[in-house]
Amino acid sequence: MMVESASETIRTTPSNQNGISSLSSQSDGGGGREGGSKGDTNGEISPVDLLHLQQQQALQAARQFLLQQASGLNSPGNELKQSPVQVPVSMAMMSPQMITPQQMQQILSPPQLQALLQQQQALMLQQVTHTHTHSHTHTSWSQSHCSMSGCQLGTKQLAFQQQLIQMQQLQQQHILNLQRQGLVPLQPTATMQSLQQAMCPSDLQQLWKEVSGVQSSEEALKQAEGLDLSTNSSNSTSVFPKAASTHIALHSLANGQSHTPKRDSHEEHASSHPLYGHGECKWPGCEALCEDMGQFIKHLNNEHALDDRSTAQCRVQMQVVQQLEIQLAKESERLQAMMAHLHMRPSEPKPFNQPLNLASSGSLIKRDSEAYPEGLPHPPTSAATPITPLRQGPSVISSSSLHTHSHSHTHGVGPIRRRNSDKYCTPIASELAQNCEFYKNADVRPPFTYASLIRHAILESPDRQLTLNEIYNWFTRKFAYFRRNTATWKNAVRHNLSLHKCFVRVENVKGAVWTVDEVEYQKRRPPKMTGSPTLVKNMISGLGFGSLNASYQAALAESSLSLLNSPSLLTSPASLNMLHVGHDDVSSTVEQVNSNGSCSPTLSPQQYSHQVHVKEEPTELEEDSRPVSLLAGVTHSLPLPSDERDLEEDLPTEELE
């Protein structure tokens, strides 16, 4: 019975005369000695022992054959064919993870080999101890171990060390081979692609076949005794992913050798099963054809029940998955480093509370300032990281500073396009805060409009007013890009200051300063969403807000929180109005929600606008002195009134320059 199993096992492997011949000699000798060994131990061979012996013989034969086959499959340059004597097959039998070095070399990618090697070393040490204290009859089946069984521990350890050394050599050889074949890049870290290539299906299949042949004596014993090991078969099969399960046109060794009658465990299988597909069992190394789900389940329970073999297969599968995960982690780490190098945000998992330190300027953008309306996508991030899941949607796509030079005018200063960004946008403060160093040092155009930059510069200033020259300085200080083509962009700045109503020129004793009329700024674009809480909410929950990354959302949440928590907000109609009009970016959208959804009744923009003096609407207030909203900033250096602060959208508390 087990003999049949063994023969079938051998038969199902691809024919390899050399392998078989060598296999025969090996297993024959081993078997003979095993009998003697058993006799020495028990005096007679029980039926169970006989079964065990036969099974182990068969398994050993299969293993040796595989070993030979693996050696034969090695590339011609691989001279590390291993003599069977050097392979502690018995150890492999005892430890399901144990795979012959040749097969490892063929099956696993370098990182996998690395991990497996380490694990194997540990197992070997275990086995050394184990062998030293116990007499393992089943381990003496193989010729190699038969000789070892009579040796002292030191000899065994030496053999194991040789084994380890050889495995390491094989591993290196394997790497070289793969590199020669172009399967593995010359870099130390293989890419996922190379990993997949290295772990081609046939390799994995071999691995599984090998593992399928691994059965402990305990299992043989249990099988002989008809023990039911399948009680947890469903768990054993479902718990482990079949990430690397493969389909190979080879018949499974396992199919032929497992004759253990297994009880049907009542697995609850739906119409589909992860291990069943295309009419065949997808258990690693098994390709048994199953006409239907019922048959498959029966097959699963019979052939892949909870036993040592299945456990070993699961272990290998786990290792495969583990290795893949490790590899994934490495690659992810590399990606992070790459992105970090390119100043891409996902690479810099900054905590939200990261100080927004604009060191060079000596100014700090408070997190409150992240609520600034305005904003454009994170340029470096969006520009080159289509993979980042955090920044999808319109805000991501917009112009990036990395490509702005590609179009338009022949000058070095390309247009600052805002497009989508202005609508869903990233708060400029957040953007700048997180990439201030980038913009400071890289000659990259910020993806913000002149207007938004000017506004930000003004709002960032302690008094929310800047002279033209101060605005210039802010530009050059914050952006390396604006340290050249000064005539062009300065002209643009002046042009924007004059053109946009949102910028209010205020005469000062020392000259003129520029301030921001927030209402006008918000009015720059059609208030598509103004006053519509539903739309706002939809936007937030949907495309716009949902497309923001976590930090942005956190910033927005915090900004909205600060708004809600702001006593002045609740007491200042002007603030509410101001919030109400915001529409062109996320922060203002949030504010809208706050005002429309959770705060007091909204007031019309007009109610607020009277406090702000727009250029084309000079009023008596402006005539006699200056707008109320500007008074505080211009005439006093005092903290802004609460309404003013709210009006300015959570402006940073002054601690700048």
Partner DNA sequence: AGCTTCCTAAACATTT
Partner DNA sequence: TAAATGTTTAGGAAGC
Q: Does 222 bind DNA (CB under 7 A)?
A: no
Q: Does 486 bind DNA (CB under 7 A)?
A: no
- Spatial CB neighbours of 467, under 8 Å, sequence gap ≥ 6: 510, 511, 512, 513, 514
**Residue keyed to tokens 């000659």:** 443
Given 247, 259, 330, 524, the residue binding DNA (CB under 7 A): 524
Q: What part of residues 416-445 is at the interface with DNA (CB under 7 A)?
A: 416-420, 422-423
Quote the least distance from Cβ 629 to DNA, whole Å.
Answer: 18
Instruction: State which residue, 364 or 471, has the beta carbon closest to DNA.
Output: 471
Q: Does 614 bind DNA (CB under 7 A)?
A: no
- Give the binding-site size for DNA (rule: CB under 7 A): 45
Q: Does 494 bind DNA (CB under 7 A)?
A: yes
Q: Let me know if 389 is exposed, middle or buried by CB neighbors in 10 A (0-12, 13-18, 19+).
A: exposed
Quote the least distance from Cβ 485 to DNA, whole Å.
Answer: 7
d(CA 297, CA 286) in angstroms, rounded, equals 13
Given 243, 250, 326, 468, the residue binding DNA (CB under 7 A): 468
d(CA 109, CA 323) in angstroms, rounded, equals 9
d(CA 129, CA 108) in angstroms, rounded, equals 28
Quote the least distance from Cβ 446 to DNA, whole Å.
Answer: 9
d(CA 486, CA 391) in angstroms, rounded, equals 33
Q: Does 501 bind DNA (CB under 7 A)?
A: no
In sequence order, what DSSP letters do the residues of 617-648 get, joined into one string?
Answer: S--HHHHHS--HHHHHHHH--SPPPHHHHHHT
Which residue(s) pair with 503 in the sheet? 516
Given 132, 263, 350, 407, the residue binding DNA (CB under 7 A): 407
| Phi (first) and psi of residue 28, to 5 degrees | -65, -50
Quote the least distance from Cβ 574 to DNA, whole Å.
Answer: 24
Given 449, 547, 551, 587, the residue binding DNA (CB under 7 A): 449
Given 240, 450, 474, 552, the residue binding DNA (CB under 7 A): 450
Q: How far is CA 151 from CA 25, 98, 583, in A?
A: 22, 21, 84
Q: Does 498 bind DNA (CB under 7 A)?
A: yes
Secondary structure element (H or E) that encloses residue 506, with its range: strand 503-508
Quote the least distance from Cβ 619 to DNA, whole Å.
Answer: 16
Given 491, 541, 604, 637, the residue binding DNA (CB under 7 A): 491
d(CA 502, CA 531) in angstroms, rounded, equals 21
Q: Does 201 bind DNA (CB under 7 A)?
A: no
Q: Does 413 bind DNA (CB under 7 A)?
A: yes
Q: Does 393 bind DNA (CB under 7 A)?
A: no
Contact 296/273 with Cβ under 8 angstroms?
yes
d(CA 195, CA 172) in angstroms, rounded, equals 15
Residue 595: DSSP 8-state? I
Q: Does 511 bind DNA (CB under 7 A)?
A: yes
Q: Does 492 bind DNA (CB under 7 A)?
A: yes
Q: Does 196 bind DNA (CB under 7 A)?
A: no
Q: What part of residues 150-189 is at the interface with DNA (CB under 7 A)?
A: none
Q: Let me know if 567 is exposed, middle or buried by CB neighbors in 10 A (0-12, 13-18, 19+).
A: exposed
Residue 583: DSSP 8-state? -
Which residue(s) pair with 243 in the sheet? none
Instruction: State which residue, 513 or 647, has the beta carbon closest to DNA.
Output: 513
Q: Pick the stretch among 92-100, 146-154, 409-417, 593-601 that binds DNA (CB under 7 A).
A: 409-417
Q: Does 103 bind DNA (CB under 7 A)?
A: no
List residues binding DNA (CB under 7 A).
Answer: 394, 399, 407-411, 413-420, 422-423, 448-451, 467-469, 472, 485, 487-489, 491-492, 494-499, 505, 511-512, 514, 524-526, 615
